[in-house]
Structure 1
Amino acid sequence: MMSAEQNALITQVSAGKPAGNLLRHYWQPAALSIELEGTRPVRPVQLMGQNFVLFRDENGALGFLDRDCPHRGADLAYGRLEDGGLRCPFHGWLFDTQGNCLQTPAEPKGSTLCKRIRQKSYPVVEKSGIIFVYLGEGDAPSFPDLDCFIAPESHTFAFKGLIDCNWLQALEVGIDPSHASFLHRFFEDDDTETAYGRQFRSTSAESDIPMTRVLREFDCPDIAVEKTPYGLQLVTTRTMNESQTHVRVTNVLFPQAFNIPMSSEMTITQWHVPISDTRTYWYAIFTSFTGPVDKEKMREQRLQLYTLPDYLPRVGRENNYGFDPEEQLHKTYTGMGEDINVHDQWAIESQGHIQDRTREHLSQADKGIIAYRRMLVEAIEKAERGETPLMVLTPQEAAHIQGPSTMDGVCASSDLEHWHEVDSRRRAGAPWQTLAAAS
């Protein structure tokens, strides 16, 4: 258990709050690149309780500005893209991507007001289908050489979705390996030919045993947690028989992402980005280690589950997560359909908009969550003292944060370290590694 004060410390993210100050040390996903496609590439963005406007100017440059016009506070998300910037429709004040005021049309000839006006702007960069923004002070940290960032564009796919709860409980479900045996249990196994793009539905690497069966029949895993330069690595083992053990290796990328295997060919790197204290977007980059990602199929699959333009889940709190008692008896453990995102969404949203951690009782299965919370509090305290927290990287440090390694497959029970070899082979055969070796 923790006190109410401790819970507030790690969940509240607005400007001036300790956790909010910490998260402003890092690049944050702000939108999908595809959200700026079309005839009017302008999007309102709410991030950590603040309101912004994101746009792409006529030359293709990205701008990320405070949303209220510095003249009279009108909403710049309704602005017009013209004359080299974003123009407020109220009085015509014009701002470029750096927040410079280019025009104040109603001012008398010779007025210097424009030169004295500047709208606050923020560094913004586009990577692997996601637009990231840095809201902190000083120089932005360097991006680590994660697989999802160094893979060619053809081998990544990005998507997002809204969760109606605090960012921390949204992240913590991914640091909880044991829940999958229950929350994501299916009573029947799918044909693996239909499993593309679907987590926990494909066949485990180097085994003919479907992952759904592994989770269903071996529901008491051993979990080992190790600190790493990027956060945490969790190795979860399920002993299947005397000779075979299922091994699943996942990672926490501090401060608010996890990296997990989706299949033997693909990984998911997923951020949990606070809109406010009580709402969150998850952003995910799917990275293929073999052939190019079928982006059209991946997006089509997910648009059956989310509505545009705000990526709201079609199934959620307002329609009881699609709960069907007949399905719960015969098909899925939850009775909430086959999309595991809905299962996770129910689990974390049912905890409340901000989970009351004063009422929880953690167990051995929660050792990853316990380790992460300690790491989070330590980083918050460092940031409050003006010190550099974990994963605020220099270019030299960023070059050494690679991977990270993952695994979802079966090893000989006598050689549980075999997963390192499996991961190394996959990594060595990745297209970007092959190109680097050739050069």
Structure 2
Amino acid sequence: MMSREQNELMTRVGADTPGGRLLRQYWQPVALVDEFEGERPVRPVRLMGQDFVVFRDEHGQYGMLDRDCPHRGADLSFGRLEDGGLRCPFHGWLFDRNGTCLETPAEPAGSKLCQRIRQNAYPIVERSGVLFAFIGEGEPPAFPAFDCFIAPDQYTFAFKGLLECNWLQALEVGIDPAHASFLHRFFEDDDVSESYGKQFRGASADSAMPITQVLREYDCPDISIAPTDYGMRLTALRELGDGHRHVRVTNVVFPQAFIIPMSAEMTIAQWHVPIDDTSCYWYAIFTSFTAPVDKQQMREQRLALYELPDYRPRQNKRNHYDFNPYEQRTQTYTGMGHDINVHDQWAVESQGPIQDRTREHLGTTDKGIIAYRKQLVAAIDAHQRGEKALMMVDAAKAATLTGPASIDGVCVNQPADEYWIGADVRRRTESEWASRG
């Protein structure tokens, strides 16, 4: 049984909390590149209870600054993009993307005030359609050579969505292979040829059986976990009979991401980023190993379910996730439609703003969640001692962190490890871009 103090340690993200200090030492997704495609590329960002402004300057370079102007605290997210930076509309003070004060125009001639002013600025980089920022101390860790970061742009697609709950319970749904057989159960199987861009709607690799059928008819997976240099690997096995076995390999990337198979040809890397203690965004990079992704189709599919500019789900707790009891009896296990993100959203938001883990009773299938929590607490403790924690890596180590393999397939009379390792090699060998390495 978890204590209230342990739950607080893992979930609180303020700058003065142990967990918040740890998470600040990693690159965090803060925006999509798509959010800067309009005529005014300036966005307010709230990350772990702190307020920032992200902008793209006249030279196409991104910057991230504290949102409050250092003059009198006005909101810089309403600033004017001009003259090489972001200008505060209150008194015209101008800051470039590095936080340098370029002008204090209302000051008398000869004033040196501008030379003494500097706004807090933070490193920010673009990776596969997502802007990552570092708000911690010292040097940020290097980016691993994961597929989602090294694939050419035309093979990746990025999106995000708002969740009204703590980041940890949002992450933990992805460390739970057993829930898919229930939460994402469909009573009928769609044509798998119509599954593009939809998770759990196609067929597993090396099989014509729809994934929905596998999950529905074989609901008790044998789950194993293995620690890795990047976090952990989870393997869920479902015995289908006659020597056939469904193998699903997923990964937890410390501290806040999982990488999972979306289909036989595509994977999803998804981060869970605290806005504050009681809300978060998920950011996802979809990576194709076969054909270039249809970005327009995938974006249109998701915008049917999310409202801009905040990427707020149209189905949410205020409209009861469009729950339909007739649908629950006849079509889906939840009665909340066919999009699995809505199912996950209900599951994690229904636990409350911050799940009270002192009331939970974990089972055998929760072994991944238990292992991850131990990793998180160990990393918090290490950071408090001034030591490097998991995935605080330099460039040399980051270059060795590749893949990771994320497989959903069916093998016949073959050990599971042998199957998924071979399936990953075949997929890379046949890939236009992944085979180059």
Asked if TM exceeds 0.5, the reply is yes
In the alignment, structure 1 segments of 5+ residues that lack a partner are none
Where do 1:152-163 residues align within 5 Å?
152-163=152-163
Tell me what 2:169 maps to: 169
In the other structure, the counterpart of 1:88 is 88
Q: TM-score with structure 2 length normalisation?
A: 0.99
Is the 2:334–2:343 contact (alpha carbons within 8 Å) kept by the matching residues of 1? Answer: yes
Q: Paired residue for 1:270?
A: 270
Residues 200-259 of structure 1: CA distance to partner in whole angstroms, max 9, x if unpaired? 000111101000000000001100000000000000000010310100000000000000
What CA distance in whole angstroms lies between the structure 2 residues aligned with 1:372 and 1:358? 17
Once residues 311 and 271 of structure 1 are traced to their aligned partners in structure 2, the CA distance between those partners, rounded to angstroms, is 15
Measured after TM superposition, the shift of residue 431 of structure 1 is: 2.3
Residue 285 of structure 1 is matched in structure 2 by: 285
Q: In the alignment, which residue of structure 2 is the partner of 1:371?
A: 371
2:434 alignment counterpart: 433
Does the Cα contact within 8 Å between 2:43 and 2:54 map onto a contact in 1? Answer: yes
Q: What is the aligned partner in structure 1 of residue 47 from structure 2?
A: 47
For the residue of structure 2 that corresponds to 1:431, the secondary structure is: coil
What is residue 76 of structure 2 aligned with on the other side?
76
The alignment partner of 1:290 has SS state of coil
- 2:215 is the alignment partner of 1:211: no
Q: 1:249: which partner in 2?
A: 249
Give the secondary structure class of the aligned counterpart of 1:119: coil
CA-CA distance at 1:37 after TM superposition: 1.1
- What amino acid is aligned across from residue 335 of structure 2 in structure 1? G
Instruction: Provide, for residues 325-351 of structure 1, a one-character-per-residue CA deviation record: whole Å limited to 9, x for no partner.
Output: 000000001101000000000001000
Write the distance in 2 (CA, Å) between the matches of 1:431 and 1:141: 29
- Deviation of 1:428 after TM superposition, in Å, equals 2.2
Residue type of the alignment partner of 1:321: Y
2: CA distance, partners of 1:130 / 1:297 = 18
Q: Which runs of 5+ in 2 are unaligned?
A: none
2:18 aligns with 18
Distance 1:152 1:188 in 2: 36
Match of 1:33 in 2: 33
Measure, in 1, the Cα distance between the counterparts of 2:428 and 2:135.
Answer: 33
In the TM superposition, 1:30-429 aligns within 5 A as: 30-416=30-416, 417-429=418-430
Distance in structure 1 (CA, Å) of the matches to 2:302 and 2:225: 32
State the 1:157 CA deviation: 0.1
The CA distance in 1 between the partners of 2:323 and 2:117, in whole Å, is 54
Question: Aligned partners of 2:352 and 2:5: how far apart in 1?
Answer: 17
Give CA deviations for 1:5-42 in whole Å, capped at 9, x if unaligned. 00000000010111101101100000000101111100
Opposite residue 30 of structure 2, the aligned amino acid is A
SS at 1:224 equivalent:
strand
State the alpha-carbon separation in 2 of the partners of residues 431 and 156 from structure 1.
14
CA RMSD, Structure 1 to Structure 2 (Å): 0.7
Q: Does the residue aligned with 1:9 lie in a helix, a strand or coil?
A: helix
* 1:23-77 CA distance string (max 9 Å, x none): 0110000000010111110000000000000000111111100000000000000
Secondary structure (helix, strand or coil) at the match of 1:275 reads strand
- Give the distance between the partners of 1:415 and 1:366, measured in 2 at CA: 23
Contact 1:315 1:321 in 2 (8 A): yes
Give the Cα separation in 2 of the matches to 1:171 and 1:401: 21
**1:430 deviation in Å?**
2.3
